[in-house]
Amino acid sequence: MAVARRLGPLTRDCLAEIPGPCGSCVRWEFDAVHRARVERDGIGAEAKADWLSSTLLDWGSCGQVVRVDGVVAGYALYAPPAYLPGLAAYATAPVSADAVALSTMRVAAEYAGRGIARMLIQGMAADLVRRGVRAVEAITTTHPADVPGDAGGCLIPADFLLAVGFNTIRAHPRTPRVRLDLRTTLTWREDVVEAAMERLLGRRQQVGALPLQAPTE
């Protein structure tokens, strides 16, 4: 039976279907004080949905989601750095003024190796190229097996983005910042993206960490 995979923009309605805790996590969307208030009041899902609605209204599309037979299999979130103040807490911030920040990319473990990551990257790139964005940057982690809640549990693994064409522009032993120039890189080979995913999945299984929910938040 053919499997239907569909790429589309991330909307407010999608958040409740996102795998794992990402639908209510506001690590990147607010500064530390605002985030602490949201977490104290237990309103993460509502606050994230409001942030998404506001960003869509002010800036436009800020994410991609892939569905497999109608089920959300993965998503990516990106926006200008001013919309993601939580990134400023890291030593390799800030994201360059001419770039959009890729804050989150996650694929449910059961869909790893099925082309979901490639679709998300290509969908993001196509969206941003159409809008005249020059580059994408991400603050990544070199320790992706860290438990969720630590930096490594929310940041995208550096190895993954480097393997699909990003370059390090500010080195750091734990949280390097990487960049992809959209003016010269418009497509990614499927085998390169999926090989990067498989390497990360194998590494996490070996250390007994959570299954790759790929590059994670």
Query: Which residue has tokens 């990257």?
Result: 121
Residue 167 has pLDDT above 90, yes or no: yes
Q: Which candidate, 144, 142, 139, 143, places its Cα nearest to that of 213?
A: 144
Residue 202 has pLDDT above 80, yes or no: no
Asked if residue 1 has pLDDT above 70, the reply is no
C-alpha distances (whole Å) from 161 to each of 13, 15, 45, 151, 179 are: 28, 24, 27, 16, 9
CATH architecture of structural domain 5-207: 3-Layer(aba) Sandwich (3.40)
Query: pLDDT by residue (tens digit) across 61-107?
Result: 999 999 999 999 999 999 999 999 999 999 999 999 999 999 999 88
Spell out the domain ranges in the chain.
Answer: 5-207
